[in-house]
């Protein structure tokens, strides 16, 4: 029996674990991936908006953000496969057959990329679907590519790919890009980037590898095909609530609902970071939520 089990080791989970440890709570941090850090692994540009800590990319930020994790007293289990969670009894059932339990449960499972649900999207995973513009840079060098989406992630991916790809086509549904101004300004200076607003990619085509995309522009009757060697789908995110969504109250977009103590609809079950912060999905919020939840929990166990 632990005082606190935290599900997810992104910035929110790491911050909560460090704070719980500092406040003397017996804490276990569970992460399904091989490494802690969550979305920080997907940030390839500089981070300049976290007070007091700047970094060239998410990896560098993670190193400094989690410096204290190895000296701290809490346990971190990575590559953990959680089968199910019972929020009322605070039990976590692992695929390995083990069951663990705590007095308080903190859900910090963040968000994942949304998918388009179009033909070719699953079929070409690993065969032309771009997972990471940095990691896959050499794979797509010299190829024309298409990015689907108009937010920060789409813009950042497009900018990174211009360094190695002859042309980059950005296809998005809205009239204007939603990406932050800094990215939009940079996109406008890149001559190899073409933007198709009010458009949708409706199919990814190829034999062994991606060879083309089908694009449908607003007001057009038929889609047209454009030859590309790679496609990145960056159309936003959805919260990782699969383990608890039938047991806790969600908002209309599926994010976990919390009160000012960050407590969900079940007593002593909390949600922190992106999984419950639709309007402020940032490292600062995730980290602040981690501190808040630890303080709230500590106040409930205090004699
Ligand atoms: C390209 C990009 C650029 C960004 N730039 C900035 C920026 O400049 N400044 C800023 O403040 N923010 C930025 N962000 C957002 C920031 O990274 C997130 O707000 C932050 O990571 C949220 O932290 P989190 O811990 O709530 O969630 P996440 O980082 O999503 O971490 C959640 C963790 O939970 C784990 N998990 C999920 N499901 C389970 C499960 N069932 N069992 C166990 N573990 C599970 C995941 O594997 C993950 O490690 C950016 C994000 C991206 C993608």
Tell me which residue has tokens 């549904």.
Answer: 173
Q: What is the pLDDT of residues 184-199, one digit of tens each?
A: 999 999 999 999 999 9
Choosing from 80, 283, 289 the residue with most ligand 1 atoms within 8 A of its CB, the one to mutate for a pocket test is 283
pLDDT at 134: 82
Q: 252: Cβ–Cβ under 8 A, 6 or more apart, which residues? A: none
pLDDT at 31: 98
| Statement: the pTM of the whole predicted model exceeds 0.85 | yes
Kindly give the distance from the C-alpha atom of residue 114 to the centroid of ligand 1, in angstroms, as a whole number. Answer: 14
Q: 60: Cβ–Cβ under 8 A, 6 or more apart, which residues? A: none
Q: Over the chain, what is the mean pLDDT?
A: 95
pLDDT class for 46, splitting at 50, 70, 90?
Answer: confident
pLDDT above 90 as % of the chain: 90
Q: 38: Cβ–Cβ under 8 A, 6 or more apart, which residues? A: 8, 9, 10, 11, 12, 13, 110
Q: What is the mean pLDDT of residues 20-46?
A: 94
pLDDT at 284: 97
pLDDT at 37: 97
Which of 106 and 43 is assigned the larger pLDDT? 106
Is the distance from CB of 2 to CB of 101 less than 8 angstroms? Answer: yes
Question: 281 by DSSP, 3-state: which?
Answer: coil
Nearest CA to ligand 1 atom 7: 47
Nearest CA to ligand 1 atom 17: 39
Atom of ligand 1 at shortest range from CA of 272: 26
128 lines ligand 1 (CB under 6 A): no
Q: What is the mean pLDDT of residues 54-69?
A: 93
85 lines ligand 1 (CB under 6 A): no
For residue 41, is it left (φ>0), alpha (ψ between -120 and 50) or beta? alpha
286 lines ligand 1 (CB under 6 A): yes
pLDDT at 71: 87
| Cα gap 184→176, rounded to integer Å | 10
159 lines ligand 1 (CB under 6 A): no
pLDDT class for 42, splitting at 50, 70, 90?
Answer: confident
6 lines ligand 1 (CB under 6 A): no
Q: What is the mean pLDDT of residues 120-137?
A: 92
pLDDT at 43: 86
pLDDT at 19 over 90: yes
pLDDT above 70 as % of the chain: 99
256 lines ligand 1 (CB under 6 A): no
168 lines ligand 1 (CB under 6 A): no
Choosing from 8, 19, 130, 157 the residue with most ligand 1 atoms within 8 A of its CB, the one to mutate for a pocket test is 8
pLDDT at 172: 97
| Cα gap 141→42, rounded to integer Å | 19
pLDDT at 91 over 90: yes
pLDDT at 44: 78
pLDDT at 229: 97
Q: 81: Cβ–Cβ under 8 A, 6 or more apart, which residues? A: 32, 94, 95, 96
pLDDT at 303: 67
For the chain, the C-alpha Rg in angstroms (whole number) is: 21
Q: 121: Cβ–Cβ under 8 A, 6 or more apart, which residues? A: 115, 129, 204, 233
Atom of ligand 1 at shortest range from CA of 277: 26
Q: What is the mean pLDDT of residues 157-180?
A: 95
Q: What is the mean pLDDT of residues 41-46?
A: 84
pLDDT at 45: 78
Q: 143: Cβ–Cβ under 8 A, 6 or more apart, which residues? A: 165, 166, 228, 229, 230
pLDDT at 267 over 90: yes
| Tokens representing residue 166 in the block | 């002859």
């Amino acid at each position: 029996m632990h005082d606190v089990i935290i599900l997810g080791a992104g910035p929110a989970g790491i911050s909560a674990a460090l704070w719980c440890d500092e406040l003397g709570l017996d804490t276990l941090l569970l992460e399904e991936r091989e490494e802690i850090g969550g979305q920080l692994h997907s940030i390839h540009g500089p981070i300049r908006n976290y007070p007091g800590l700047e970094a060239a990319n998410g990896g560098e930020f993670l190193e400094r953000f989690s410096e204290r994790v190895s000296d701290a007293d809490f346990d971190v289990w990575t590559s953990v496969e959680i089968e199910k969670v019972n929020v009322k009894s605070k039990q976590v059932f692992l695929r390995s057959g083990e069951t663990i339990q705590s007095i308080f449960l903190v859900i910090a499972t963040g968000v994942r990329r949304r998918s388009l649900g179009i033909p070719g999207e699953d079929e070409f995973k690993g065969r032309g679907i771009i997972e990471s513009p940095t990691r896959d840079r050499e794979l797509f060098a010299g190829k024309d590519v298409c990015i689907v989406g108009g937010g920060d992630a789409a813009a950042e991916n497009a900018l990174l790919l211009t360094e190695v790809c002859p042309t980059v086509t950005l296809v998005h549904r809205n009239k204007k890009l939603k990406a932050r101004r800094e990215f939009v300004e940079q996109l406008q200076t890149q001559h190899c980037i073409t933007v198709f607003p009010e458009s949708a990619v409706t199919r990814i085509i190829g034999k062994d590898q991606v060879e083309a995309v089908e694009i449908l522009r607003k007001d057009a009757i038929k889609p047209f095909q454009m030859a590309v060697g790679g496609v990145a789908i960056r159309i936003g995110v959805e919260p990782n609530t699969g383990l608890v969504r039938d047991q806790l109250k969600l908002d209309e977009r599926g994010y976990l609902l919390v009160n000012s103590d960050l407590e969900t609809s079940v007593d002593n079950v909390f949600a922190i970071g992106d999984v419950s912060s639709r309007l402020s999905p940032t490292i600062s919020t995730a980290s602040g939520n981690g501190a808040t939840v630890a303080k709230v929990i500590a106040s409930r166990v205090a004699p």
